Amino acid sequence: MASLNYFPCTATLSHSPSCPTFPKPRSRHLQISSSISENKNIDIETNSNSQPKVDRRNMLLGLGSGGLYGAANLVINPRDSSATPVQAPVLDRCGKATDLNSGKDIDINCCPPFSDRIVDYRVPPVFQMKMRPSAHRVSPEYIFKYNMAIDRMKRLPKDDPRNFFQQANIHCAYCNGAYKLQEGQLEGPDPTEVLQVHNSWLFFPFHRWYLYFYERILGKLIDDPTFALPFWNWDNPKGMTIPPMFLDEKSALYDKKRSKNSTPSAVVDLGLTGEKDPLQLVTNNLTIMYNEMIRGNQDVYGFMGKEYRQGDAPDPGPGSVERGSHTAIHWWVGEPDKNGEDMGNFYTAGRDPLFYCHHVNVDRMWTLWQYFIPSNKVPDKRITNFDFLDASFLFYDENAQLVRVRVKDCLDNLGMGYDFERIDLPWLDYRPPSQTAGAKIRRTNAISKLAATIFPLKLDQIVRVVVKKTKKGKADEVLVLEDMEVDTSKLLKFDVFVNDEDDNSFELDKAAYLGTYAQLPHKSATNKTVKTSINLKLTDLYNDMDIADDDSILITLVPRNQDGGVTIGGIKIIEAPPAKKPDA
């Protein structure tokens, strides 16, 4: 695979080295197309010695307009004088993680080897860009190299923090209750409140740093600093099966605890509907990706996740990808309702090499959302709040040195030295067809109720409820499911439909499908129950269903599990606030 030669300048926010002036690159148009969608033109830069790459240098280096997170545009906005970003955990306060089936400590120590020597990490200058490849398109030579790297990682001494199982334990410690928030910085009386990096704005930055060091460790073990992790492109029909290199039982990439879903020909079910028809699954999956990336997000927090600060209750609310396709892949591969491992539970997810390939694609979704989604869909994609930018984590680097990293230094993948192979994005224009629903609404109004009369409710069956709009016409509106009490020890999933014409909840490729909420079992609050909420943008749906002038809409909630782990406190429609000020 060809590599990209970049000049030695970085785009991290911790330092801004001087960069030479370069001639204006030649550019052309890259067509992203599929048999399903219209062609989409995107400016790219090319040269005779490299693969095409998106022309983002001006944005990344703060030249010209300054870019998404360019130094010229970045204005850090502390919430107030008592701003409290989540701080890196204290290693000697790390304890056992929690078995969510029994509610007791599990017989495993997720804590890393202790060190009191912590170095503040600085992303090194980028001299050669790593290209992360599509896992379905890699060569036999790449598979051999990747397998060798994982095998060597597994053979490291057990107390080496770079060992495969020590790396897996990182996810266990940060995500299932082993780490606690730093003492003395809690607002409440409980000094054992867990540190949880899921279901908030920390989700994408934490996992980006996690993959960054994992990749560098693998590269060092095979003496190849250009080695890049592959991504499982489950957002493209050609990648909607488990990549073949992970299915060889003799390979270091294999994990025996995957569910029966991982058969070579099985198509992933990003909707977790239980649908078996491969064609329906593909169309469902493309609709889900369009909703998560474009249609369903009113502002930056709708994609990234809600605010989470030191002392806040964990799980304030996940972003669209985290609660959607991300969780679906974990569930589909790990089948947690059957065995709870490996991908199906946070404390074991990192034991499956497929986990990292999955999360590289999640990281790719962040990059695509930043640079490929039209700005008229989500006007401002930055979070400039100090509590976000200065949040920190601890990792061991490729030299087994404990380092402290901060969110502000991982906001751009090119500044960290890696990019992604170009793959068609068929979901980019996969807007569902227009849909009319007048007859269905007249028929179902008799069996539905007004929202004010039934909430709070335990969601253990399909519920239909009429919700009044704020006003008629083209006003931007958002559906809010608020005061949701969620049992974090349970596997949960429900979907939201508007003015649905039929009762076939297996079909998501329609305008009536608004969005979803899903979670894997994990340790969060001490009593296993948290309060959270989700916001779902209605504007495009109104247009797709021609209901902008209606007084009210019919909401249908469809649980995919029947154990009642969610109680919804209320449901309402609000006029969307301006999206251009994410920290207001």
The annotation places the binding site for Cu cation at: 171, 198, 207, 326, 330, 359
pLDDT for 264-280, tens place per residue? 889 999 999 989 999 99
Q: What pLDDT does 410 receive? A: 98
pLDDT band at 261 (very low <50, low <70, confident <90, very high): confident
| Pick from 45-54, 336-345, 460-469: least confident | 45-54
Can you tell me the mean pLDDT for 418-445?
A: 78
Residue 209 has pLDDT above 90, yes or no: yes
Residue 71 has pLDDT above 50, yes or no: no
Closest residue by Cα to residue 461 from 562, 326, 328: 562
The annotation places the binding site at: 171, 198, 207, 326, 330, 359
Q: What pLDDT does 489 receive? A: 78
pLDDT band at 437 (very low <50, low <70, confident <90, very high): low
pLDDT > 90 fraction of the chain, expressed in percent and rounded? 49
Q: What pLDDT does 195 receive? A: 85
Closest residue by Cα to residue 415 from 42, 120, 70: 70
| Pick from 441-445, 482-486, 546-550, 551-555: least confident | 441-445
Closest residue by Cα to residue 388 from 411, 419, 359, 414: 411
Residue that has been written with the tokens 């911790």 in this structure: 14
Predicted TM-score (pTM) of the model is: 0.84
The residue with greater pLDDT, 54 or 327, is 327
Provide DSSP, 93-105: G----EETTTTEE
Q: Residue 263 contacts by C-beta under 8 Å, 6 or more apart in sequence?
A: none
Residue 538 has pLDDT above 80, yes or no: yes
Q: What pLDDT does 355 receive? A: 98
Query: Amino acid identity, residue 523?
Result: K
Residue 308 CA to chain centroid, in angstroms? 16
Q: What pLDDT does 36 receive? A: 33
Q: What pLDDT does 23 receive? A: 32
Residue 561 has pLDDT above 80, yes or no: no
**What are the CA-CA distances from residue 71 to residues 64, 78, 408 (Å)?**
11, 17, 11
**Could you give all domains of the chain from N- to C-terminal order, each with its CATH number?**
91-272+299-429 (1.10.1280.10), 438-575 (2.60.120)
Residues 326 and 205: their CA atoms lie apart, in Å, by 15
Residues 285 and 328: their CA atoms lie apart, in Å, by 11
Q: Residue 260 contacts by C-beta under 8 Å, 6 or more apart in sequence?
A: 335
Whether residue 484 contacts residue 568, with contact meaning beta carbons closer than 8 Å, is answered with yes
Residue 223 CA to chain centroid, in angstroms? 30
Active site residue ranges: 171, 198, 207, 326, 330, 346, 359
Residue 75 has pLDDT above 70, yes or no: no
- The packing angle between helices 164-175 and 203-221, to 10°, is 170
Residue 34 has pLDDT above 80, yes or no: no
